[in-house]
A and B are shown apart, each in its own frame.
Chain A
Amino acid sequence: MTQSIIINGKKHAIDVDGNMPLLWFLRDQLELTGTKFGCGSGLCGACTVHVNGQAIRSCITPVSTLVGKKITTIEGLSEKGDHPLQRAWLNNNVPQCGYCQAGQIMNAASLLSVNAAPSSEEIDTAMQGNICRCGTYQRIKKAIVEAADTLSKEV
């Protein structure tokens, strides 16, 4: 029986070599291109997605290890693109080229799900695996703080 994986709430058969990293299954098989290829070695964070709500680097995660797991990509983070982080990213005009930002947002969402009010140091520690070559770090940090604040008011 074909094994399957759930991506953004939708079941997909794993019809590829199980060693294929999730990144390429998303990008080349499903043509879900919001998740980006940056380094292929888990060094830059551009490919970050959630597995059962937790951030992982999809470029080094074989799809065979994800059978039956729930994957969330940037396309599925929120129904209307209005996750507090997405709104904060817009409020703070975070993106320059924007290429790394899907990974940044997914990583930050994972952080906020376990730490609703991270300190500056905790943000640094959680986000240090995500490179932005355009240099938007100052705004990323501001946006995360703002989103955390929004979330605390919503609860």
Chain B
Amino acid sequence: MTISNVSRRDFLKTAGLATSGLVISVALPMNALAEKGIMKESAEEINAFIQIADNGDTVIYCGRCEMGQGISTALPSAVADEMEADWQRVTVKQGDADEKYGPQATGGSASIRVMFQPMREAGATAKAMLIAAAAKVWKTSPDNCFAQAHFVINKTNQQKLGYGELASIAANMPVPEKPTLKKKADFKYIGTALSRHDQDEVVVGKRIYGVDTKLPGLKYAAIIHCPVLGGALKSLDKTAALKMKGVSDVVEIPRFAIPFGSIGGVAVVADNSWTAQQAVKQLKIEWSLGENAIYDTKEYKQQLVKNVEKPATLASERGDIEKAFSTAKHKMSATYTGGHLSHAPMEPNASVVWVQKDSCEVWASTQSPADIQKVLGQYLERDPKDIIVHVAMAGGAFGRKFKCDYVHEAAVISQKTGSPIQLTWTREEDMRTGYYHSINAQHIEASMDENGNVTGWLHRAAFPSISTLFDPSLVRTPANSLDDITNHLFGVENCRVESGDAKAHTRIGWYRAVYAIFYGFAFSTFADELAYKAGKDSLSFVNQLLDNNKNKEQTAQVKRAKDILAIAANKSGWKNRDKLPEGQGIGLAVHYSFQSFVAMAVHVEVNGDDIKVLNVDCAIDCGQVLNLDGATAQMEGAVVMGMSLALSTEITFRGGAVVNSNFHDYPVMRITDMPNVRVHMPDSDESPTGLGEPGVAPFAPALSNAVFAASGKRYRDLPFKPMSV
């Protein structure tokens, strides 16, 4: 990592930064990122800026995308803490798409894991330079000075100089090679419950999201997509639409068959969004649907189950599973399934794009501005660097806004009409034109000895993988997508993992928690089933299963998983579960994903088919917690999303097209179902990891286990109570 003083560099102007005062940049070497699996190339680029103006106003730029996960508060607060900035004097700004920020693609719960340390070092660097500047003014040693709340203070005479007064002088100070970082006990913001920097704007309706962008001369567009992946427009009669008052254009958008390009559709351009939406309904369209018109998720899921209940393609193997099975005291098998999910963030896909002869400018809610540059660069045949992307606050994303097909479409419309275009998808189009969480089936067979030790584990999984976005010819899940099964923390000496056939008939994409949703479900539910079979209580059974892990590389992880599970169990009253009223039960699950450990204890009341979730105790170990409030919020949200997918949400395809259309037939959780969620975070000195994704995985299995404890009924299919659509 390199930290530079860039106060006078020319590119600051192009980056839109003022050039007076002190500007510190942080460069995280790309090869360090490559080691972490984030980037491939080796180079050094700038990830963050701190700018202190002559009046002391401080701007900290956040290069990572904000979608509600709180990163634009968390990372700048780490900078502010180390530089002894007064948070009240700090403004956080979102960085536009610029490779100088390094990887801005925001997903995989990677932001804090990758950026925490560099951000701290940037802040510490700024502080050291401000102190050096004050020492110079006072003709004293830097050791005789300290920084506090936007001031440097002279220890001898208690004189004070503000950061604003010092900024320009500090800009001439050498950049310290290795700035000293603060001790944990001295943190002011790190590890506290700092409020989001922008929430006062939210509560008065002033926070601007991607969908809120306004430009002079803006035209509004609505779109209808080809309902089936791979289909195309057969005929279009646009007469009636074009006759409508306020409608100016109808634009055909052919499929752009690259991963984040349009699936293909027809758009209408009008004076306002509503007119455009009404005009879309007047289009007379015939589609030729293509080969995916056969897709029917009910039949497909049944086929997936068949594919995992028979021998499949070997992905990995250790030990001798046949021997383990033939000498078993107990044998047990179960099959688990899950349906497609739509992210359905509250802000539908929307962006503004203005393509002109010499420029292309984008305003969008996005998780991956560099991918917008890449796709638009390829479509417009321009250098990706010439595509200007202003990263807007996303009104939820959950993985959907990583894939900015909607921005590509707005670019097509703008290019063809010459106007700046705001394209807003309707909720129906959002629901029907997604990058869906994989439909899936898993079959597990296990053997146990007389002491309840699991001796063999056969795990077959079949799901159309995200890899099919990049290689549509794949007919089954590639072995590397099954690594989380092979490397699961449960200690089983003899293990065989197989991949069942699963061709994709729709676009598959990352959805909050990704494969951990169904891996977590299968592992933790099956463990509970095994415990019951072995006549053991679920907690001690899982602990034994973890203790049996003899892989030394996983020893530390096993301990953390056990510790965090113990906290969730203790807080839930697990020990006294026998005293619960009739019809109530507690279920446990622990899952390690995205380098964080999350355990949940779900307390339910079951009455016939009615499942009421009363309490959820979440225990998390994400190492050192950067923002207590943000971490808590992520877990509360994970419970809600976990509950939606466990109980009710599923995307259904018939005839190749999505049947669901809006929130009436994609019933996400509402306030009436909200349980009491308690979040427990033990103090930790481990390096911090992320929390956006890992909280979702343990909820569904803990719920399945709780319902079983309460009623004896076992749910193995997600969602438990699908709505028929």
Contact = CB atoms under 8 A, between A and B. Distances in A.
Given A28-B273, A98-B68, A140 B671 contact: yes
Question: Interface size bucket, B side?
Answer: 35 or more
Contacts, number: 186
A51 interface: no
Contact of B204 (A20, A75, A93, A133): A75
Contacts of B639: 135
B272 interface: yes
A128 B209 contact: no
A118 interface: no
B710 interface: no
Given A38-B427, A40-B277, A141-B674, A136 B637 contact: yes
Contacts of B207: 98
Contact of B274 (A20, A31, A127): A20
Contacts of A74: 203-205
Contacts of B668: 131, 133
B636 interface: yes
Contact of A133 (B193, B277, B345): B345
B68 A134 contact: yes
B357 interface: no
A39 B424 CA distance: 12
A113 to B, nearest CB: 18
Interface string A40-51: 110110100000
A21 B272 CA distance: 11
Contact of B671 (A86, A134, A137): A137
A17 interface: yes
Interface in B625-680: 629, 633, 636-641, 662-664, 668-672, 674, 676-677
Question: Interface size bucket, A side?
Answer: 35 or more
A138 interface: yes
B669 A93 contact: no
Nearest to A34: B205
B426 interface: yes
Contacts of A32: 205
A144 B481 CA distance: 44
B383 interface: no
Contacts of A137: 640, 669-671, 674
A140 B641 CA distance: 16
B351 to A, nearest CB: 14
B202 interface: yes
Contacts of B274: 20-21, 23-24, 28
A38 B702 CA distance: 31
Contacts of B271: 28
B98 to A, nearest CB: 23
Interface of A: 16-17, 20-21, 23-24, 27-29, 31-41, 43-44, 46, 73-75, 77, 81, 86, 89-90, 93-102, 105, 123-125, 127-128, 130-141
Query: Top 3 closest A-B pairs, CB basis?
Result: A34-B205, A135-B640, A97-B68
7 contacts: A28-B273, A94-B199, A99-B345, A99-B396, A100-B395, A102-B205, A137-B674
